[in-house]
């Protein structure tokens, strides 16, 4: 009898602990504010990174594929689509009731080589490029119609000074390639949310151009629901005030803000916050100072920086649709190889042993504070 009671109490204790764990998850804490998401790598999508998958399902309410929905993977050869990984990714999200994001339809990078050229290697005409864009967008978006809830339709098309990136899309179609992409996406799934996504989207001239694009599309009846502010940030840049101003400005232009691709690097940066993958710098030991762990003062600074950002997100929760981390654990982060290859960075919310860092609980507590 005594044994049964002890066992009963133990079961109760275990289920209480489990309840508390769920009680304290990020997704529960932010349930009434905005989606809280993460990017998923291929091992996570394929179920071979089981520990990360457990974190993803218990902590996050939204997912985006870190790589497998980019055009070079989805359509490596013209007309030959490869959907196996993306299908598994979408199935994972549906099984776990998540808000699924597609990343990304039109991007100058991670794009298959054939996209812009004819059989002689010459630039295709505007008409051919439009047809290729339409076919890619329509095939991909239609496949996941009603299941992928939001698309990064165009990624990284504007420079920090507000000019258009001189990509092949721009060279061949001019500024019109952006509205065209949104129009094709809207036709393929009228109910999906459609976003323009970019990094350094707090640079004032960049904000202006993005807002002009948004307004121009809206005035022509082309839907755009949100701006994705990639948040690949460091300890010092950007200033919180400039980031906040951008949130407010985008919201005033009538779109929601998605905080996308978030991580805070703890390492020195040679130049700030570019996320342009071709901008790399040669390895130097002084740029990799914390191979054995973060010193306490840096850890504190890093944690405070996260808390400042999340305070800001909560302050503007009416303008924010989603906050998405760019990965789960530190060892998975692209920041270990960017902008300097082979460093040890600590940018994400879960450590290399799959444990939540203390900042996670502190972020959760922020949601309980009175504003
Ligand atoms: O798949 C190959 C694998 O077969 C090979 O063994 C390995 C060796 O390096 O490389 C693997 O490919 C890598 C791929 O990620 C998958 O891990 C590529 O080299 C690597 O360049 C690629 O990097 C991705 C990068 O986009 C490419 O542009 C990062 O994981 C991904 O985090 C990053 O994400 C972008 C967003 O899409 C857009 N915004 C900026 C952000 C950071 O660059």
Confidence (pLDDT) at 23: 60
Q: Using a 6 Å cutoff on CB, does residue 109 contact ligand 1? A: yes
For residue 188, count other CB atoms closer than 10 A to its CB: 20
- Total-model pTM: 0.92
From the CA of 230, how far away is ligand 1's center (Å)?
16
In percent, how much of the chain has pLDDT > 70?
Answer: 93
Q: Which token pair is 183?
A: 């129009």
Q: Using a 6 Å cutoff on CB, does residue 67 contact ligand 1? A: yes
Output the average pLDDT for the chain.
Answer: 93
For residue 57, count other CB atoms closer than 10 A to its CB: 16
Confidence (pLDDT) at 278: 74
Q: Which atom of ligand 1 is nearest to the CA of 155?
A: 38
- Beta-strand (E) ranges in 28-130? 35-40, 62-65, 99-107
Query: 131 to each of 79, 103, 134, how far by Cα in Å?
Result: 12, 20, 5
Enumerate the active-site residues: 156, 261
Q: Using a 6 Å cutoff on CB, does residue 274 contact ligand 1? A: no
Q: Using a 6 Å cutoff on CB, does residue 275 contact ligand 1? A: yes
From the CA of 331, how far away is ligand 1's center (Å)?
14
Per the CB < 8 A criterion, the answer to whether 53 and 91 are in contact is no
From the CA of 127, how far away is ligand 1's center (Å)?
31
Query: 139 to each of 74, 82, 105, 143, how far by Cα in Å?
Result: 10, 11, 11, 6
Confidence (pLDDT) at 352: 98
pLDDT at 72 over 50: yes
Q: CA angle at residue 135 from 134 to 136, to 5 degrees? A: 95
Q: Using a 6 Å cutoff on CB, does residue 261 contact ligand 1? A: yes
pLDDT at 171 over 80: yes
Q: Using a 6 Å cutoff on CB, does residue 189 contact ligand 1? A: no
Q: Using a 6 Å cutoff on CB, does residue 110 contact ligand 1? A: yes
pLDDT tens per residue, range 14-63: 444 443 444 689 999 999 999 999 999 999 999 999 999 999 999 999 99
Confidence (pLDDT) at 274: 75
From the CA of 162, how far away is ligand 1's center (Å)?
26
Half-sphere exposure of 322 (CA within 13 A, CB side): 32
Query: 283 to each of 19, 137, 220, 276, 340, how far by Cα in Å?
Result: 46, 38, 48, 17, 6
Confidence (pLDDT) at 4: 46
Q: Which of 41, 201, 277, 345 to mutate to test the pocket of ligand 1 (most atoms within 8 A of CB)?
A: 277
pLDDT tens per residue, range 187-213: 999 999 999 999 999 999 999 999 999
Q: How far apart are CA 100 and CA 63, in angstroms?
A: 5
Q: What spatial distance separates the first Cα and last Cα of the chain, rounded to whole Å?
A: 51
Give every CB contact of residue 269 below 8 A, 6+ residues apart in sequence. 234, 237, 339
CATH number of 29-366: 2.120.10.10, 1.10.390.10, 3.90.320.10, 3.20.20.80? 3.20.20.80
From the CA of 337, how far away is ligand 1's center (Å)?
10
What's the gap between Cα 59 and its chain centre? 16
Domain boundaries, the chain: 29-366
Q: How far apart are CA 321 and CA 269, in angstroms?
A: 29
Q: How far apart are CA 10 and CA 139, in angstroms?
A: 53
pLDDT tens per residue, range 210-246: 999 999 999 999 999 999 999 999 999 999 999 999 9
pLDDT tens per residue, range 85-141: 999 999 999 999 999 999 999 999 999 999 999 999 999 999 999 999 999 999 999
Q: Which of 334, 339, 342 to mutate to test the pocket of ligand 1 (most atoms within 8 A of CB)?
A: 334
Confidence (pLDDT) at 269: 84
């Amino acid at each position: 009898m005594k044994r049964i009671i002890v066992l009963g109490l133990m079961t109760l204790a275990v289920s209480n602990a489990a309840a508390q764990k769920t009680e304290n998850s990020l997704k529960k804490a932010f349930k009434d504010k905005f989606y809280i998401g993460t990017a998923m790598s291929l091992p996570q999508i394929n179920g071979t990174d089981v520990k990360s998958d457990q974190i993803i399902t218990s902590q996050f309410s939204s997912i985006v594929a870190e790589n497998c929905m980019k055009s070079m993977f989805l359509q490596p050869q013209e007309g030959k689509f490869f959907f196996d990984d993306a299908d598994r990714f979408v199935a994972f999200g549906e099984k776990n009731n998540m808000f699924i994001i597609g990343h990304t339809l039109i991007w100058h990078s991670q794009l298959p080589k054939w996209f812009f050229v004819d059989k002689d290697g010459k630039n295709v005409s505007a008409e051919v490029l439009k047809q290729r864009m339409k076919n890619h967008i329509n095939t991909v978006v239609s496949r996941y119609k009603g299941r992928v809830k939001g698309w990064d339709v165009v990624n990284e098309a504007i420079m920090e000074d507000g000019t258009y990136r001189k990509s092949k899309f721009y060279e061949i179609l001019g500024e019109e390639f952006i509205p065209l992409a949104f129009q094709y996406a809207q036709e393929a799934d009228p109910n999906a949310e459609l976003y323009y996504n970019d990094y350094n989207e707090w640079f004032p001239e960049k904000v202006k151009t993005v807002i002009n694009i948004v307004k121009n599309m809206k005035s022509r009846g082309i839907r755009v629901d949100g701006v994705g502010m990639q948040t690949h940030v460091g300890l010092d840049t950007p200033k919180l005030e400039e980031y906040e101003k951008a949130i407010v400005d985008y919201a005033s232009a009538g779109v929601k803000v998605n905080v996308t691709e978030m991580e805070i690097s703890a390492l020195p940066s040679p130049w700030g916050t570019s996320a342009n993958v071709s901008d790399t710098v040669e390895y130097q030991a002084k740029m990799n100072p914390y191979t054995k762990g973060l010193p306490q003062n840096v850890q504190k600074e890093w944690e405070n920086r996260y808390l400042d950002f999340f305070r800001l997100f909560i302050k503007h929760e009416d303008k924010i649709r989603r906050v998405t981390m760019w990965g789960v654990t530190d060892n998975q982060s692209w920041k270990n190889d960017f902008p300097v290859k082979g460093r040890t960075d600590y940018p994400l919310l879960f450590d290399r042993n799959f444990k939540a860092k203390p900042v996670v609980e502190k972020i959760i507590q922020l949601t309980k504070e009175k504003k």
